[in-house]
Every structure is written in C-alpha cells, then in structure tokens.
Amino acid sequence: MVRAGMWLVERLGGGGLGAPAVQERAWDWGWHPMWGMWGAWGLGIMLMMFLFWVLVLAGFVLGLRWLVTQGKTSRPDAALDILRQRYARGEIGKEEFEAKKRDLS
C-alpha cells in the first residue's frame, strides 16, 4: 500500500523533487492508442468522405453526359412515317405493312 502511494506521489508531483515527473507513454515511438480505428469517428468520417467523392464523380459524369446530349434532338424515323402514311391511305395492306415494318426495325 505504501509502495503504491509512493508511486502515485512520484507520478503526480515528482516525489518532493520540486519538478513534476516525466510522463511515460508507451506510444512515444510506436503505435498511438487511437491509430487502430482513427478515433471514435474515424471510420465513419472515412466512409463519408468516400461517399462524398463518389457523389461528386457521379455528378460530374451525369452533368457531362447532359451537356453532350443537349444539342441533339431525337428525329423520328422518316421511312416508318412514310410507311404509316401509305398504310393509312390504303396503298398497302396490313400484311405488307407489318412485313416492311419488321424490315425497317
């Protein structure tokens, strides 16, 4: 008991030497206790940063695709329109319309 008390006194006040004792740390030149999980929020912050950069990259790619397709307008198939018009006017029958439609598609 006395031995434990002296150890505590030496650690806290230097044992009457007038100078505080040097704090001993096991991690001075080795592993720090928090390096294992980078602290309490380290893994969570790392995952959040990964998610952030994935979202930034996805936004960049989608924005670039949107910009590239802005000038293009989808044109209807002219041949299919003519075929429909001919079928509507009665120039061709249903069998011929279906056959030509399969050929165009």
* Alpha-carbon dihedral sign for residues 88, 94, 99, 102: positive
Angle, CA of 51, 57 and 58, to the nearest 5°: 85
Task: Give pLDDT, residue 31.
Answer: 62
Let me know if 65 is exposed, middle or buried by CB neighbors in 10 A (0-12, 13-18, 19+). Answer: exposed
Of the pLDDT bands very low, low, confident and very high (cuts 50, 70, 90), residue 104 is confident
Is pLDDT above 90 for 55? Answer: yes
Task: Give pLDDT, residue 76.
Answer: 75
Task: Give pLDDT, residue 44.
Answer: 80
Q: Residue 83: how many CB atoms within 10 A of its CB?
A: 19
pTM of the predicted model as reported, rounded to 2 decimal places: 0.39
Task: Give pLDDT, residue 75.
Answer: 73
- Compute the distance between CA of residue 4 and CA of residue 23 in angstroms, rounded to an integer: 17
27 in Cβ contact with 33 (< 8 Å): yes
Mean pLDDT, residues 27-34: 59
- 86 Cα distance to chain centroid: 53
DSSP 20: P
- Compute the distance between CA of residue 53 and CA of residue 59 in angstroms, rounded to an integer: 10
